[in-house]
Amino acid sequence: MKSKEFMFIKSEFRIVKVNFEDILFLEGLKDYTKVYVKGKPKPVLTLQSLKYYEEYLDKTRFIRVHRSFIVSIGQIEVISKNVITIGEYSVPVSDSCRKALYAIVHENS
């Protein structure tokens, strides 16, 4: 299941196919999750929790960096102290997730 290259997301009465390599990051909003996808002007909004995606997505490709955010490791452009830059987006990094993030940075340096 985890080795697949895409997933289908139910969004606003549609089912949208999203390739894992095109996911920039996911943002949790209470009961919803916004999935930001490369090349799409608006995020895909789904009635699925961020916790669900944290368990579903491949841990070698995605990491939780904040209570409300999961990022695609391959899409990270810049990491500063409390912020990850992915394209035009800035994603916060929480203190509790920083150690795991820097472990991945160290592995790939």
Structure tokens at 19: 């390739």
What is the average per-residue pLDDT within 82-105? Answer: 94
Tell me the pLDDT tens digit for each residue of 23-44. Answer: 999 999 988 999 999 999 999 9
Model confidence pTM above 0.85: yes
Rounded to the nearest integer, the mean pLDDT of the chain is 93
Alpha-carbon span 43 to 99, nearest angstrom: 28
62-79: burial string, b at 16+ Cβ within 10 Å, e else: bbbbbebbbbbbebbeeb
Q: Find the farthest-apart pair of alpha carbons in the chain and give their distance in angstroms, rounded.
A: 43
pLDDT in tens, 42-71: 999 999 999 999 999 999 999 999 999 999
Q: For position 108, what pLDDT does the model report?
A: 86
Give the whole-angstrom CA distance, residue 106 versus residue 101: 9
| CATH classification (class only), 6-107 | mainly beta
- What tokens does 107 get? 């592995």
Average pLDDT over residues 67-84: 95
